[in-house]
Chain A
Amino acid sequence: MANFKTLAKREEKYKKFESGHSLCEGCGLPIAVRTVLNSIDGPVVASNATGCLEVATTRYPTTAWNIPWIHNAFENAAATISGVESAYRSLKRKGKIDGETTFVAFAGDGGTYDIGLQSLSGALERGHKFLYVTLDNGAYMNTGIQRSSATPKGASTTTEPAGRESYGKERQRKNLTEIVAAHEIPFVGQASISNLTDLSDKVEKAVSKDGPSFMNVLSTCQLGWRVPPSDAVNVAKKGVETCFWPLYEVDEGKWNITYEPNEKLPVEEWLKPQKRFAALFKTGNEEVIEEIQEDVDRDWKKLKAKAAM
């Protein structure tokens, strides 16, 4: 199990993901990517869906990646890595390559929940040995903060903005982690950039499995969430402490809550610091916050019941 010291040591040792990229200050993506890569011992090959992470780390002729890395298109990070992983198994069987390599796919919520869902589902069902990491910041941030099916209820985005007649997104977000869990793969985890050892432990477990594994990581976008860059980690932490974003895993079918807040905070604590939810705090929208609280409470209760089984 990793602690901060181990993660820092691995950062020194491997430097799998370098500085010098052009991701924003306060962006959660490099925090997540470093932690994921530093939690894996040995060679890693990554595929990356189109999005901020790809654009800001591989502007030709520069790259921030010290590991083999491939970008193909937006919706096919899972299919692409399944091709790489199949090539690895084939060439290894034929004696053309040796050694153990871990395969990871990175994609945002748009590239996973929406346009990449079929590609992911197919790759999971086929049983390739790879870890798929969704970096969920709850909208199409790279293209300008358009809503995705990961956008939380009540958030204002450029395609479902708050206005005189609307407070923002009306529908609750899709529960992707549970959709993936329904594939009955060996490991599914939900984590956050605010809880790094939890994230790291889950990655270690995930890549130890003989089959597909999946991680959904809450990752702050200071532009889309409209929070100060310095607050990026704290805001993500509020997502965890309010149980909007519970930290849990489904390990070989067993549901475990990996972090339970001492005191479950009211959902306003998560909503209030983010200006994307500003309309909810206007007079007349009180019941929307109540509805969001009800959604969170119901989902948390359901999760606890699954973990108790």
Chain B
Amino acid sequence: MSNGNRQVLTGHQVVANAMRQVDPDVVAAYPITPQSEIVEYFSKFVADGKVDSEVITVESEHSAMSACVGSSAAGARTMTATASQGLALMMEIVYIAASMRAPIVMTVANRALSGPINIHCDHSDSMAARDSGVIQIYGEDAQEAYDFTLMAQRLAENEDVLLPVMVTLDGFTLTHTAQVAELLPDDTVTDFVGDYEPLYPLLDVDNPTTQGPFDMPDYYFEHKLQQVEAMKNVPEKFLEIQEEFSSLSDREYSGLFESYKLDDADYAIVLLGSTAGTAKVVVDELRDEGKKVGLLKPWMFRPFPGEEIKDALKGKEAVAVLDRSLSFGSSGPLYLEISSALSHEDEKPRLYNYTYGLGGRDIAEKHIAEVFEDLENPELEGKMRYINART
């Protein structure tokens, strides 16, 4: 079943339409490149009466997430969108949103963090939020950003989860480019996301609740462990939601990551986001030359599907992890996850770490082909290498 509508749309338009179809009660957001047009398109939908949401045009991202926490606690379906400095500014409250179990769905149009100030894509913004307690899903293209935004709504509001979900798409590469994407019919989305029934809404004045109280050492730890439990429930729920979503669309989702020609591959690349599109082209070309290469693209980064990825990488000769952000003085965040997932294996692939695309630096097919070449050279294992950078 689909009867969807295939259109040529920018990532902004696609996400704004997903938000329109979700029909949130409240959206609170602040402008920032490359996110702004998502909220601009959405605000026009509101102005034209195409969606019945309250838009809070706050004076900062800190207040955007603060208002989202208030709105979500009140019992309203709540969304926001941001990028880069905006996410950094709201970070204090992102942690609080997760701890208050506020099912806020937020889009992050990935952009480099200052300094130097740069408006182009890398993953340093969302990676800085990886320990905040939000669920993180990375999209490869506008279609995935659309699909995951809809699935995120169900995941966030699931009673066994109740956590904020961050859906990311690469700034400019995906937000500002026109791509073919299928939008589901409005009523299909309405039925899919369903009504939000909050458990303890602040606006239930007959049953008053105290939300966000103060913990001493006698309770704080256990409250954090409740977040740990909620995170544990995410993969199973996500797979269930994917299955239902797949039956409604032309896409087939069944996993916490996408495997592309991976099963029989000897050499694999692991990376997040839009560069997977380029990597797939390279994999196809090298396959034509008879090389056994493949790609693993995590959709979900938090919670990290370490067990599943470990199984998927079993028996590979060598694996390159391509990070689009830095952790100064250490390896890339994605590399550390993969390395940790494989750490207890007796026989594990050689692991290579690359950093690419910082501040919007191009990564071309030839660069990815070079990585696959490197993987055949055991001497390069473990050393951090910087793709297409003057070192």
Which residues from chain A sit less than 8 Å from chain B, CB to CB?
A: 43, 45, 47, 54-55, 58-61, 63, 65-73, 75-76, 79-91, 93-94, 97, 99, 101, 118-119, 121-123, 125-126
The yes or no answer to B214 lying at the interface (CB within 8 A) is: yes
Partner of B93, one of A76, A84, A99, A123: A76
Instruction: Tell me which of B69-77, B150-158, B226-234, B370-378 binds A.
Output: B69-77
User: How many residues belonging to B are interface residues under a CB distance threshold of 8 Å?
Assistant: 43
Q: Verify A94–B25 contact, CB threshold 8 A.
A: yes
Q: Verify B28–A68 contact, CB threshold 8 A.
A: no
Q: Verify B211–A69 contact, CB threshold 8 A.
A: yes
Known A-B contacts A70-B202, A71-B213; the reply to A118 vs B59 at CB < 8 A is: yes
Known A-B contacts A58-B210, A83-B26; the reply to A45 vs B202 at CB < 8 A is: yes
Question: What residues of A have a CB within 8 angstroms of the CB of B59 in the complex?
Answer: 118-119, 121-122, 125
Question: What residues of B have a CB within 8 angstroms of the CB of A82 in the complex?
Answer: 56, 58, 63, 67, 70
CB of B201 to closest CB in A, whole Å? 8
Q: Verify B202–A68 contact, CB threshold 8 A.
A: yes
With A and B bound together, what is the CA distance between A61 and B28 in angstroms? 31
With A and B bound together, what is the CA distance between A63 and B214 in angstroms? 10
With A and B bound together, what is the CA distance between A57 and B66 in angstroms? 21
Q: Verify B67–A80 contact, CB threshold 8 A.
A: yes
Q: Verify B213–A59 contact, CB threshold 8 A.
A: yes
Known A-B contacts A80-B70, A121-B59; the reply to A87 vs B76 at CB < 8 A is: yes
With A and B bound together, what is the CA distance between A43 and B74 in angstroms? 14
CB of A50 to closest CB in B, whole Å? 9
Partner of B205, one of A47, A67, A81, A123: A67
Q: List 13 A-B contacts (CB under 8 A).
A: A45-B202, A58-B214, A59-B213, A68-B203, A70-B70, A72-B69, A80-B67, A80-B70, A83-B68, A83-B71, A87-B78, A90-B52, A121-B59
Question: What residues of A have a CB within 8 angstroms of the CB of B213 in the complex?
Answer: 58-60, 63, 71
Q: Verify B96–A73 contact, CB threshold 8 A.
A: yes
Question: What residues of B have a CB within 8 angstroms of the CB of A63 in the complex?
Answer: 210, 213
Q: Verify B93–A83 contact, CB threshold 8 A.
A: no
With A and B bound together, what is the CA distance between A50 and B203 in angstroms? 21
With A and B bound together, what is the CA distance between A94 and B23 in angstroms? 11
Partner of B75, one of A59, A67, A87, A118: A87
